[in-house]
Amino acid sequence: MKKLIILSVLAMIMPLAVMAQHEEDSENGVVSLAGREGFTIETKKGDFVFKPYLLVQTCANFNWYDDEGLDKAYNQDNIANSGFSIPYAVLGFTGKAFGKVSFNLSMNAAASGGALLQQAWFDVQLSKSLALRAGKFKTPFSHAYLTTLGETLLPQLPLSLTSSVILPYSLNAVTPNIGTGFDLGVEIHGLVADKFGYEVGLFNGTGASVNTATKTMSDDWHIPSLLYSGRLTYMPKGVMPSTQGNPNRLHEDKILFGLSGSINVESENESTNDTRVGVEFAMMKNKLYLAAEAYYMNVDFTKRQKISDSYNYIGGYVQGGYFVAPRLQAALRYDLFNRNGTGDDGFLNMPAVGVNYFFKGCNLKLQAMYQYVARSGHDTQLDRDNDNLGLATHSATVMLQYTF
């Protein structure tokens, strides 16, 4: 019955076909082509545009962990994973051809393995309401992930999206998190009446670090073991820009409501079938940016695991930014996550504060944030200790970013 309900919900969402949060001046969601900023190659007829780009982020990180999970016999310190880092060093190119095809290829030199290939896709626009995209790109789930890289309100994404959940089984293969991020696949998307966006896609479900076809048929569901994903948005004031703060866009009046869902179906692997549902809200009103998301994930073990229990997780965040000066943005976020599952009491409460400064005329952006991971409402001390395993109680990040 549960499978029929889930498949029925997807069947209703998919014909609506979900996302098209494609901005009129940056259809590829990477860099703007409308203003031809920076170095751009273009034919006289304008039927071919080619633009190389660069994004480099350098960070100073500080992370303090509590004693739980540390082994003092090995001289493990409360301060760890601190120092300097380069989250992204992206070099790529994007463009448009013949008025119908847009494309993007980017490499992240700061990554390794399959994640070196950050994005590689082409998009064929048959009409404004119908387009086909294929390759490696962002899956249609979560406003936080779908924001253009380098234009997020804070340098770190919400932990409720990026942290793996806690399960009472020591299986390394079973560590899902709610966010799905980049993946390989194909989707259809479009924009209807300049208000309704949609995107529906099939993806490998193996994430950004795998660039090969490794999937098979599901023994439990008897369908291809893929990630089935979709997103529907309503934007009553026109297309919502995919940014959380830009000093060149201080006169916007946009609002977005979104609904997304996905099922990551596994085969005979010792893993789980994961169902995700998310709702989102975002708005930009002159100097003010606001956003809120809530999401749910059900983790259901494959039959091969011989575990009848399933686990449910919920999380969400509220965040806002305001330009207190033309190039200075203040930021706040409150993140909430029941990492142990709804079957156990207790939440992670994760407030964060930040500030962003955009240097004039040189594409430099400075971001700083502090986040505190608090625990409340847990039934036992063990639940409380387990809930933030691997997460820093106090963390601070200062990031300098350059784009070309």
Task: Indicate the pLDDT class of residue 142, thresholds 50, 70 and 90.
Answer: very high
What is the mean pLDDT of the segment spanning 277-289? Answer: 97
pLDDT confidence of residue 43: 82
Mean pLDDT, the chain, whole residue set: 86
Higher pLDDT, 107 or 220: 107
What is the mean pLDDT of the segment spanning 56-69? Answer: 89
> What is the value of pTM for the model shown?
0.87
pLDDT digits (tens, 9 = 90+) for 75-94: 668 888 999 999 999 999 98
pLDDT digits (tens, 9 = 90+) for 172-213: 556 789 999 999 999 999 999 999 999 999 999 999 999 999
Domain boundaries, the chain: 60-89+126-403
Class of domain 60-89+126-403: mainly beta
CB 148 within 8 A of CB 29: yes
Rounding to the nearest 10 degrees, give the CA dihedral for residues 156, 160, 161, 162.
60
CB 329 within 8 A of CB 245: yes
Extract the runs of DSSP E, i.e. beta strands, from 209-287.
Answer: 227-234, 253-264, 272-285
Q: Which residues are within 8 A (CB) of 89 and not within 5 positions of it... i.e. 6 or more apart?
A: 55, 56, 57, 108, 109, 110
